[in-house]
Amino acid sequence: MKKRRGAATSPRAARASELQHAASAIATALKIHGLSDEIRANRLLTEWAELVGPKIAQRTRPEGITDRVLWIEVATSAWLHELNLLRPQLVNGLLTRLGEPRLFDEVRFKLAGRSRRPLTQAPAARARTAAAATRSPARPATGETREQIVREVAAIDDPDLRELIARVRITNDK
């Protein structure tokens, strides 16, 4: 078949006729729509154990990236201290595995359960919170019950975790 004389080949038609690998086409589409950083940030959350290793992953959880700061929740204060010492190696490993451009400029650690800002709740969660607020407060454990709780939690090796569990159980008389 002959090419018509005078028929111009548009750049779009030329690009469409070029073959690409699927991975390359998907990466290009994500970049065009501004989604590649979101996908990479989600990968950080979903593949945390593979990115940092099982030992750190057991004691940490990425909370997310806010204002170019990666927030990581840590199980105990001892691990928080340890990770602060290991911060340069941890950051370099994450940046190497996640690639460029950088998703975050800084890493901050916080103890799990201590929020730096209020979380937005879904309507059902707000209803549960409101219902809990209207219930009468739990009586703290006293006497023999308190002593039994202290004996039971003594078997926990981690001192921070032991203290936390004892405080919660004693406060709620369970």
- pLDDT exceeding 90 applies to what percent of the chain? 16
**Could you tell me the residue ranges of all domains in the chain?**
22-111, 137-174
- What is the SS3 assignment for 23? helix
Cα–Cα dist 162/8, whole Å: 76
Give the per-residue pLDDT at 78: 92
Least confident residue range of 29-38, 102-111, 121-130, 154-163: 121-130
Taking only the tens place, the pLDDT of each residue in 61-109 is: 998 888 889 999 999 999 999 999 999 999 888 888 887 778 888 899 9
Query: What does pLDDT average to over the chain?
Result: 74
Q: Which CATH number fits domain 22-111: 3.90.700, 3.90.550, 1.10.357, 3.30.300?
A: 3.30.300
Task: Note whether 51 and 42 are within 8 A (CB).
Answer: no
- Read off the tokens for 47: 């593949």
Taking only the tens place, the pLDDT of each residue in 143-159 is: 788 888 888 888 888 88
DSSP state of 117: S
3: pLDDT confidence band, cut at 50, 70 and 90?
low
138: pLDDT confidence band, cut at 50, 70 and 90?
low
CA 73 to chain centre: 8
Q: How many CB atoms lie within 10 A of CB 48?
A: 17
